[in-house]
Amino acid sequence: MVAVTNDALIKAMKEKGREVQVQEETGQILEILKIGEREFPLFIRIMDGNSLVQLLSFFPVTVQEKTIPDLARLLHLLNKELDIPGFGLDETASVAFYRCMIPVVDGEIPDTVFHGFLNSVQIVCETFSPAVEAVAGAHATFEELLKKAEEEKKRVEAEQKSKADGK
């Protein structure tokens, strides 16, 4: 079990080889997730009188105003499909993010749950950053990404059918 204090969360993360620090201005735990050549800041904050731990990671892209409708549609679709939804868009700050909340029971979180959520945030950022960044940066529209996804799904289904027929 991990006690829900900044010190205990930091210790648990460092034991798994993560490089973390406390952000002076906010008192939040900060880890920089390195994905390829990109850096995704991950903020960890204890909330609601120690009843929740928030994990919040920002995508390293500035959202262009003209892309907000397409990006919002993409993020809604991703949230619908994910087991742990949490994509969001802050139009005022022009940022896209992924956020999840971990419930705390009796001041603790099971180690496996805490590390599972941390790993999930990294996987979500790795998996979906190309699509989020493409739409946010006006390199692709929601409709173009949807069409590509449908084509890929058909290709995979055809490949699977071909393998099944060959056996």
Give the pLDDT score at 167. Answer: 61
Give the pLDDT score at 164. Answer: 86
- Domain count along the chain: 1
In a domain? residue 8: yes
In a domain? residue 153: no
In a domain? residue 102: yes
Q: pLDDT by residue (tens digit) across 114-154?
A: 999 999 999 999 999 999 999 999 999 999 999 998 999 89
DSSP state of 59: -
In a domain? residue 62: yes
Specify the DSSP element, H or E, that contains 164.
helix 142-166
Give the pLDDT score at 117. Answer: 97
Q: Which residues of 41-55 are buried (b: 16+ CB within 10 A; e: fewer)?
A: ebbbbbeeeeeebbb
Those residues of the chain that have pLDDT short of 70 are 167
Side chain identity at residue 46, one-letter code: I
Return the CATH number at 9: 3.30.1460.70
Q: What span, in angstroms and rounded, lies between the C-alpha atoms of 108 and 98?
A: 23
- Average per-residue pLDDT for the chain: 95
Length of the chain, please? 167
Q: Note down the domain range covering 61.
A: 2-142
- For residues 58 and 96, the answer to whether their CB atoms sit within 8 Å is yes
In a domain? residue 164: no
- Whether the predicted model's global pTM rises above the 0.85 cut: yes
Q: What span, in angstroms and rounded, lies between the C-alpha atoms of 156 and 54?
A: 36
In a domain? residue 162: no
